[in-house]
Amino acid sequence: MRKAKITRTTSETEIAVEIDLDGTGSYDVKTGVGFFDHMLEQLARHSLIDMTVRARGDLHIDDHHTVEDTGIALGQALARALGDKRGIRRYGACLLPMDDTLMRAALDLSARPSLVWSVEFPTARIGSFDTELVREFFQAFSTHGGITLNIARLDGLNSHHIAEAGFKAVARALREAVEPDPRKADAIPSTKGTL
């Protein structure tokens, strides 16, 4: 049962997240931030991780706390659902084209969090959404999920496409990394014997 539920309540946000690593990519996402909902739907759909997200945040200030705290909760849920990581592939990578954009994502579910971010956006906003928050989400997600995560924009002119291709690339890499390895179903994927 590779499932997890996380609730996180602060003076700024109330977040509830539920994931199933062995799902079909179904999603039910409501954060109050339309573009962010769209990105989380891409994350679920392309990772095949079933995802329910409910977030209420201080949107009268801005979207920052809601986006960051959702990243924290999703990272925590991922780490909990993976348990000791026995039998997973551990690594995943994706080179994803989308219209004018080409994004690369590579990750290691190592329990050693690190984000390498090589992405620039041509605009500061996508509609009303601050493009800086894409990095903030992945920083929180990688830190609390214990993920070594590398994301790079190799090409791209349109900020919406860059953000969406980034989420899809991470999703595809995550799908690969969390999949059971049929050749090593009972093994921790490390010579150390632990992750």
Average pLDDT over residues 115-126: 98
Question: In angstroms, rounded to a whole number, what is the distance separating the alpha carbons of residues 88 and 187?
Answer: 8
Domain boundaries, the chain: 3-178
Q: Where are the beta strands (DSSP E) in 21-164?
A: 27-30, 50-57, 91-98, 101-108, 114-118, 125-126, 129-130, 148-155
Residue (of 149, 158, 21) closest to 94 by Cα position: 149
Please give the pLDDT value at position 1: 86
Please give the pLDDT value at position 80: 98
Q: How many CB atoms lie within 10 A of CB 61?
A: 10
Residues above pLDDT 90, as percent of the chain: 98
Look up residue 172 and give its DSSP letter: H
Q: What are phi and psi of 83, to 5 degrees?
A: 60, -130
Domain over 3-178 is classified CATH 3.30.230.40? yes
Question: In angstroms, rounded to a whole number, what is the distance separating the alpha carbons of residues 141 and 77?
Answer: 10
Look up residue 12 and give its DSSP letter: S
Given a contact cutoff of 8 angstroms between Cβ atoms, the answer to whether 103 and 156 are in contact is yes
Lookup: tokens for 53: 């997200």
Q: Cβ contacts of residue 14 below 8 Å, gap of 6+?
A: 7, 8, 54, 55, 56, 57
pTM for the full predicted model? 0.97
User: 112-121 as b/e, with b when 16 or more CB fall inside 10 Å?
Assistant: ebebebebeb
Q: What is the pLDDT of residues 153-191, one digit of tens each?
A: 999 999 999 999 999 999 999 999 999 999 998 999 999
Q: What is the pLDDT of residues 122-154, one digit of tens each?
A: 999 999 999 999 999 999 999 999 999 999 999
